[in-house]
Structure 1
Amino acid sequence: MAVDKSALFRPRCPEQDVELPGVGTVRVRGLTRAEVLEIGKGVNDGKSMEPYSLSLAMVDPQLTEDEVRQWVRVATFGELEQLNHVINELSGIAGRADKEAYKSPPE
């Protein structure tokens, strides 16, 4: 069966609710291949890309990079680690070493 070409161009990153103990529920989505590649460029240049990647993945509430930086200053390590794990799973890069996943996205 031939694919409808327009289906290739529709956003389709999976989303998931994540419960943050003591805070509430947030909704995140997987990152697109283009986003992972862009994050990888920053990682390769020695930049911390966590605020950028979380700002892309946050669906509800939507956060800017600056808002994520504010959150990082008060959140526990485990809280953000849990979110990053879910985002990596949804993006299809879970199970790869974190930095390596962004250097060489899956084919």
Structure 2
Amino acid sequence: MAHLTRDQILARKIGKGTATLPDGSTVAIRALTRDEVLEAQESGRSLADRDNFIISRGMTDPKLTEEEVAAWAAEADAGDLTSVSDGIAVLSGLKPGAGKESTKSPA
């Protein structure tokens, strides 16, 4: 592994990807920033509200507000939101083994 310089550290960007829903459709997602993770953890929100926050911040196309994510959660299969939430967590390094996945070279 290379030793990063100051400029390389400051130029690093958050990861982006795609989450695939159970029916095969996809949405664009990104990793959460450290500040967003801290905001989600320290907010005193319920687990459902925290998940709505994470999805509203991490899903980039289509972009939904927390209220729209909550409405989606109330009507959709649980697998839809779980797929998106899990994808964001992996990109953000919040899942066990996620750090190992993020350092793999693309095929």
TM range (shorter): 0.7 to 0.9
Residue in structure 2 matched with residue 91 of structure 1 by the alignment: 92
Q: Which amino acid aligns with 2:6?
A: V
TM-score, normalized by length of structure 1?
0.73
Residue in structure 1 matched with residue 77 of structure 2 by the alignment: 76
Q: Is residue 29–residue 58 contact of structure 2 (8 Å, CA) maintained in 1?
A: yes
TM-score, normalized by length of structure 2?
0.73
Structure 1 unmatched ranges of 5 or more: 97-107
Structure 2 unmatched ranges of 5 or more: 98-107
Q: Which amino acid aligns with 2:7?
A: D
The SS at the match of 1:49 is helix
Q: Please report how far the alpha carbon of residue 13 of structure 1 lies from its aligned counterpart in structure 2 after TM superposition.
A: 1.2
Q: Percent identity?
A: 34
> 1:58-86 CA distances to partner (integer Å, 9 max, x unpaired)?
11001111111111111211221121111
Q: Alignment partner for residue 6 of structure 2, among 3, 6, 12?
A: 3
Residue in structure 1 matched with residue 51 of structure 2 by the alignment: 50
> 1:23-45 CA distances to partner (integer Å, 9 max, x unpaired)?
72200111011100000002xx2
Q: Which amino acid aligns with 1:87?
A: I
Q: How many residues align?
A: 92
Please provide the CA RMSD for this pair: 2.3
The SS at the match of 1:95 is coil
